[in-house]
Structure 1
Amino acid sequence: MWIAISVLLCIALIISFTYHIIYRRQVEGLCRQTAFLNENKTELKIGMDLNAKELKELAEEIQKLSDNFNKTKVELYRQDEALRETIANLSHDIRTPLTSLDGYFQLLASENLTAEKKQQYLTIIKSRIVSLNDMLNE
């Protein structure tokens, strides 16, 4: 009787140890795949050939997290491009009136202007400054 119990106990121990080794290898494989995804910023899918239900669920959640990260990365890239384009457009919109103002200031600096012309240029300069200010406040 004791021999049968000992044999059954040894078999149970071997099965348990084997299951533990398989489980551990699957966890290590999952960790390697996750580390690879993290290091390489790749869009590869995590292998789902896992035996344990919990590990399959964990792999699915990690995959969802990776997919969401990749979607967020793409969206941030699009937003960054849109921001760069907006800044370039704004820079152009500001540079044009500033160039015009610079031209009028240079005209004002010339010594052979009549008082009437100086007043006309000052009026234009004031108008351009108001327009520029309005544009910046939009």
Structure 2
Amino acid sequence: MELETYQITIDRYLTHHGYAVIQDNGHEKLIQLKNLKLVWIESLDSGKYTLEEVTLGRDGNRCENIDASTAITQIQELEGGDDIFYKVWHVDDVLSLSPRLDRDLARLVLTMAVEQHDSNIGINWDVIREYIGQVRKMKSTEII
């Protein structure tokens, strides 16, 4: 019996690990890592890749003409390897507490929570509820 060799691709890796694809132009993708860094990945005709961090519009280290395995290693290093732990908050989390909000307002709740969070408290359900209340008040007073 002959074993089939398994060739990992960047697309397969990104899908398997649930990365957010922000923009997809076929051979070029902008992805958001789980630590919120943005990475531009270009697939070259030779089966190689170019990878560059572009968080906050700043050009980061650029790796050119690298294979999939090296690209995956670079992605993992940009995320901090196995030493980073996090909870990803989703718009649906906000809507589960306040179903009458629309998705744009739920995004605003999360944006406020991220931009104004206290590192000693972090983001938790109570914090989300607080920002839901603030967004509702802003909406009722027609600030937004």
TM-score normalised by the chain length of structure 2: 0.20
Specify the structure having the higher radius of gyration (Cα). Answer: 1
Report the structure, 1 or 2, having the larger helix content: 1
Q: Tell me which of the two structures has the higher relative contact order, counting C-alpha pairs closer than 8 angstroms and 6 or more residues apart.
A: 1
